[in-house]
Amino acid sequence: MAERTQYEELMRQFSAFGAVRRELGRIMPSDCPGGSAAVLTLLDRYGDMRMSRLAELLSVDMSVTSRHVAHVVDRGWIERSPDPADKRSRILRLTPGGRAQVAELSRRTAQLLADRLSDWSDEEVGQLIRLMARLRADFGDCRTAAPRHAETPHTSHSPHHELEHTTRTPA
Amino acid sequence: MAERTQYEELMRQFSAFGAVRRELGRIMPSDCPGGSAAVLTLLDRYGDMRMSRLAELLSVDMSVTSRHVAHVVDRGWIERSPDPADKRSRILRLTPGGRAQVAELSRRTAQLLADRLSDWSDEEVGQLIRLMARLRADFGDCRTAAPRHAETPHTSHSPHHELEHTTRTPA
DNA sequence: TATTGTTATACTCTATAACTATA
DNA sequence: TATAGTTATAGAGTATAACAATA
């Protein structure tokens, strides 16, 4: 448990982080805004999934997810197949063009981060990753579940909170 | 210098951070959205200033700053006085009502963070603060300049990059 | 001619609510 | 009746560009 002045300082850091986010957004391809990039990246990491699962991973309402997905489908980067097990659902899958786009996004972000964080050690970057992962876990995020490729070893010290999410408008 | 897969993971953490930001936004008073809160907090921390300085601190275009400031002035939280030294400029200053609003914002954020980060040690919170401060410094932010109350000791290890900012549309 | 600030316009992201189709 | 997904609408944040007033 920390002091209140520390929480205020942390809040200022959160607020200022917007500048980093915007700079990263500016280097993205003009036809692939942040929402589309997030959809592609999650599909690449976790594999084929339904809309509801994607909304959960994005931590946004499914209506928002639907818009992002529609944009990405229009570009030919993913395809929506009907789910044979549930005709209400649709399965999302990356196309080859989508994978190429993911590679391009990855290339651009890695390039910018390598430039800006050139004097950060491997350990320091890892420390920031761990702290931010814990932060969003403690804020009820669900992305701590094991990804498809199991690249990040999530030892069972952080509960998943999967059921705390709505993904749905109260309606 | 870190590996590329680490940069990709860091990028995912940045993307996922949006969920934290949105949850913090939801607990704010309905007539005080994020932009207004940022204006009030910066004026409280750095004292009276001109529009251009505020835009620099917010790391957004001055047109955006102008909109945020207009909203806050409408609520009576700050006042715009003419600058006797330069008739084009206006000096921004918190009103007593503005200070009360800052206190309320601080109370709400501290309460949410104390709840969500209840199992974080003082040192861990401090570590996250330091890493995020360094992150935005390396992304060319200007808020590393000494604040009014000198609460954060910024020893001269991080150059300011003040001149890298535009704050201005190329027009 | 350059700078400070404002306003108009457009785009992105998000949530709420109403709706269709299926379970 | 409940759930999966879509669409319409509204609000917030931001950037670009054109503009007025002053330096």
Mean pLDDT of the region B50-69: 98
Q: Specify if B15 maps to a domain.
A: no
**Number of CB atoms found within 10 A of residue B129's CB:** 21
What pLDDT, on the 0 to 100 scale, is given for residue B4?
Answer: 86
Nucleotides of D strand lying within 7 Å of any protein CB atom? 3-8, 11-19, 21-23
B156 pLDDT above the threshold of 80: no
Instruction: Label residue B112 by pLDDT band (50, 70, 90).
Output: very high
Q: Is the CB of B50 under 7 A from strand C?
A: yes
User: Residue written as tokens 């701590």?
Assistant: A144
Instruction: Label residue A100 by pLDDT band (50, 70, 90).
Output: very high
Q: Quick check: A14 and B24 CB within 8 A?
A: yes
Q: Specify if A45 maps to a domain.
A: yes
Phi, then psi, of A119 in degrees rounded to 5: -100, 15
Among B10, B21, B125, the residue with its CB nearest the CB of A125 is B10
Å separating the CA of residue B28 from the C1' of nucleotide C12: 22
Instruction: Label residue B113 by pLDDT band (50, 70, 90).
Output: very high
Q: Quick check: B13 and A113 CB within 8 A?
A: no
User: To the nearest whole angstrom, how far is the Cα of B52 from the nearest Cα of chain A?
Assistant: 16
pLDDT (tens digit per residue) in B69-86: 999 999 999 999 999 999
Q: Is the CB of B64 under 7 A from strand D?
A: yes
Q: Specify if B39 maps to a domain.
A: yes
What pLDDT, on the 0 to 100 scale, is given for residue B146?
Answer: 55
What pLDDT, on the 0 to 100 scale, is given for residue A169?
Answer: 52
More confident residue, A146 or A129: A129
Number of domains in chain A: 1
Å separating the CA of residue B89 from the C1' of nucleotide C5: 7
A148 pLDDT above the threshold of 80: no
Chain A residues lying within 8 Å of B129, measured CB to CB: 6, 9-10, 13
| Rounded (5°) CA angle B17-B20-B23 | 150
Mean pLDDT of the region B120-124: 96
Name beta bridge partners: A94: A78
Q: Is the CB of A170 under 7 A from strand C?
A: yes
Q: Quick check: A8 and B125 CB within 8 A?
A: no
Å separating the CA of residue B117 from the C1' of nucleotide C14: 25
Å separating the CA of residue A168 from the C1' of nucleotide D4: 10
What pLDDT, on the 0 to 100 scale, is given for residue A139?
Answer: 92
B6 pLDDT above the threshold of 50: yes
What pLDDT, on the 0 to 100 scale, is given for residue B3?
Answer: 83
What pLDDT, on the 0 to 100 scale, is given for residue A4?
Answer: 86
A46 pLDDT above the threshold of 50: yes
B150 pLDDT above the threshold of 50: no
Mean pLDDT of the region B139-168: 48
Burial class (CB in 10 A: 0-12, 13-18, 19+), B108: middle
- Residue B47 sits in a domain of what CATH number? 1.10.10.10
Q: Specify if B128 maps to a domain.
A: no
Burial class (CB in 10 A: 0-12, 13-18, 19+), A84: exposed
- Of A17-31, A39-53, A55-69, A154-168, which range is least confident? A154-168
Q: Is the CB of B89 under 7 A from strand C?
A: yes
Mean pLDDT of the region A57-65: 98
Among B5, B117, B134, the residue with its CB nearest the CB of A138 is B117
Q: Is the CB of A37 under 7 A from strand D?
A: no
Closest chain B CA to residue A59: B19
Phi, then psi, of B143 in degrees rounded to 5: -75, 5
Q: Report which residue type is found at A71.
A: H
Q: Specify if A84 maps to a domain.
A: yes
Q: Quick check: A9 and B152 CB within 8 A?
A: yes
A65 pLDDT above the threshold of 70: yes
Would you say the C-alpha torsion B19, A75, A20, B7 has a positive or negative sign? positive
What pLDDT, on the 0 to 100 scale, is given for residue B142?
Answer: 61
Chain A residues lying within 8 Å of B134, measured CB to CB: 120
User: To the nearest whole angstrom, how far is the Cα of B47 from the nearest Cα of chain A?
Assistant: 15
Nucleotides of C strand lying within 7 Å of any protein CB atom? 3-8, 11-19, 21-23
Residue B38: which domain range? 23-118
Q: Specify if B71 maps to a domain.
A: yes
Nearest to A19 by CA among B61, B109, B42, B71: B61
Q: Report which residue type is found at B8.
A: E
Q: Specify if B170 maps to a domain.
A: no
Interchain CB contacts (distance < 8 Å): A and B: 190
What pLDDT, on the 0 to 100 scale, is given for residue A43?
Answer: 98
| Rounded (5°) CA angle B8-A124-B154 | 120
Instruction: Label residue A140 by pLDDT band (50, 70, 90).
Output: confident
For chain B, give the number of residues.
Answer: 171
pLDDT (tens digit per residue) in B27-46: 999 999 999 999 999 999 99
Q: How far is CA B91 from the centre of its chain?
A: 18
Q: What is the mean pLDDT of chain B?
A: 87
Q: Specify if A46 maps to a domain.
A: yes
A126 pLDDT above the threshold of 50: yes
